[in-house]
Amino acid sequence: MKLRLALALALLALPAVAQFGRGASEGMRQAIQFDLDGKTAEARVLLQKEIDTAPTPAAKANAQRTMAMSWAFDSNCAKAVEYEQLVMAYWVTREKEEPANAFYQQGEMANEAARVCIDSGDLDTAQKWYRKGTELGLKEPGISADRKALWAFRLANAEGRLAARRGNRAEAEKQIAAAKAALEAMTDLRKQQAPFLPYLTGYVALYLGDTRTAIADLEKANQNDAFIQCLLGMAWEKQGDPAKAKDFYRKASQVNGHNPPAAFAKPFTRRKLI
């Protein structure tokens, strides 16, 4: 059981093009490169062809997920949600054959849509889909205590960030406490999820104006994450050190993923490094 869970989580860490056991076609690879280069309209022409010619429902869902990320590169919350819902619909069809993974994936896709929306500034839509993601994920038959704690941790993390973006310090602190409790409730997943706690506290500190705490906490998060690098750049910029901020922006600009961190970092750093 532990091995299956670890493998499932490792799979979810892969880029969208690898999600359904299918290698990326030349058209998919070119579309992803177009998105990374800021040529998103050209990317979506290729991705639509991938969707239209997909040989299997799984391959079609994979192309639709990649299309959702293409819209994320344009900070288009509504279109990203539209395509993530199509991917979720695919996983609904897999509920009988693989119920544990199907409900988990539905929750993941809802959360991925929510992540695009919060990064795009549509906080209400982000909150709706974060909550929906938790609701779906918890429908997993025979869900383990660790997996329940994971969904609680993710939702508290999201609610805390949303509260900070709205300037609600009390709610943000309440959600940080809830995230800590959920993390403590984990066993097998605790070490893996631990870096997301300083991400939360650093994010909250940044948006509530405490840049020193933001920097200290974000430095304990995943330093290879382009979004974390962007947050550190923002914090150093607010701290009055534009040179250090640009160092972090340059690091973030090198990201080559096709996921929410890259979708935020690529256009953001392109503007910052003009």
How much is the pTM?
A: 0.90
121: left (phi over 0), alpha (psi -120 to 50) or beta: left
Calculate the average pLDDT of the chain: 93
**Which three-class secondary structure state does DSSP give residue 133?**
helix
pLDDT band at 13 (very low <50, low <70, confident <90, very high): very low
Domain ranges within the chain, ordered by starting residue: 15-74, 222-274
**Which three-class secondary structure state does DSSP give residue 134?**
helix
Give the integer Cα–Cα distance in Å for 30 and 39: 11
Q: Are 60 and 38 in contact (CB under 8 A)?
A: no
Residues 38-93 pLDDT 10s: 999 999 999 999 999 999 999 999 999 999 999 999 999 999 999 999 999 999 99
What's the pLDDT score for residue 5?
A: 42
Residues 184-239 pLDDT 10s: 999 999 999 999 999 999 999 999 999 999 999 999 999 999 999 999 999 999 99
- Kindly give the residue spans of alpha helices, DSSP state H, lying in the chain: 2-12, 26-36, 40-53, 57-72, 77-92, 99-120, 123-137, 145-165, 169-185, 190-193, 196-207, 211-218, 226-238, 242-253, 260-272
pLDDT band at 7 (very low <50, low <70, confident <90, very high): very low
